[in-house]
Amino acid sequence: MADIAVQHGIAGAYEPSLFGTYSKKIGMWLFLLSDTLTFGALLFAYSYGRISNPDWPTPFHKESIINATIMTGCLLSSSLTMVLGVLAARRGDRSWTRNWILFTMLFGSAFVVLHGMEWSKLIEEGMTPFKNPWAANVPQFGGTFFTLTGMHMLHVTIGVIYLGVVALRKKFLPILLVIWAIVFFATPADNVFHTGVHVLLIATAVAAVILFLKPKDYDAHDVEISGLYWHFVDLVWMFIFPLVYLMSTRVQG
């Protein structure tokens, strides 16, 4: 489909945008608003459970808080490198656009790995979506925690893949497959990420369809739109971090 409006002589059919910008950007903003409501609902569900249960567990001790703080630093730094990538794209500097996007992907990947380690530790301690070892009468803690943070982790993973497609195009597909193979064979069969890594296979298939059916050279607009998505996942974490982690700190122990 063409990105340029066709002149066909019907008055008013292609009016200038109400928002004074290009349609792809408005489309991404509207998607992000709908996604805000998805995360809003999940955060409100978590907070509802938190308020209505006086025995809500507070399992996040010093190591967890340090880990989550480093994760926050990774996401904030990735937003900086992303915006520098957008600036480079506007200047037409293709080399630095790619480099900044790759730095962003590196920070995003670090976030996912650290989050995966945090999840693994909680699972080892006996936490599942249906029970937790700290408060037997609050089984919904695991469910709300894994749903909320899992949804966010999925968004970060999709964001890294999206940026990889924009920066490297078809060259990114074999890299994705190699990462999938490494994670799949390096994790034990009972590990949640052994199954979860299949998200990368699905993403590879979707990216391949997009890249082969509509091959294009991604321009400054595309980089800016991918940046909007990336900053959004950073934005969501700014609420998950205090609500889930900081409000559930365990000072002793």
Partner 1 sequence: MHTVADTHDEGKGQYFWVWGALLLLTAVEVVLAYRQVFQPIRMLEALMILSVIKSALIIGWFMHLKYEIAAMKWVMMVAVCICLCLMCVFFADAFRIIHLGVK
Q: Would you tell me which residues interact with partner 1 (CB under 8 A)? A: 18-22, 26, 29, 33, 36-37, 40-41, 44, 47-49, 51-54, 62, 65, 69, 72-73, 76-77, 79-80, 82-84, 86-87, 89-90, 137, 220-221, 224, 227-228, 231-232, 234-235, 238-239, 241-243, 246-247, 249, 251
Kindly tell me which of 137 and 190 has the beta carbon lying closer to partner 1. 137
Kindly tell me which of 192 and 235 has the beta carbon lying closer to partner 1. 235
Residue 245 sits at the vertex; the CA angle it makes with 241 and 247, to the nearest 5 degrees, is 105
Please state the closest distance from residue 11 (CB atom) to partner 1, in A: 19
The residue assigned the tokens 């994705």 is 176
Q: Count Cβ atoms within 10 A of the Cβ of residue 35 and give its class: 0-12 exposed, 13-18 middle, 19 or more buried.
A: middle
Kindly tell me which of 182 and 246 has the beta carbon lying closer to partner 1. 246
Of the candidates 157, 230, 145, 142, the residue with the CA atom closest to the CA atom of residue 196: 157
Please state the closest distance from residue 72 (CB atom) to partner 1, in A: 5
CA distance 109 to 101: 12
Kindly tell me which of 139 and 242 has the beta carbon lying closer to partner 1. 242
DSSP per-residue string spanning 31-56:
HHHHHHHHHHHHHHHHHHHHHH-TT-
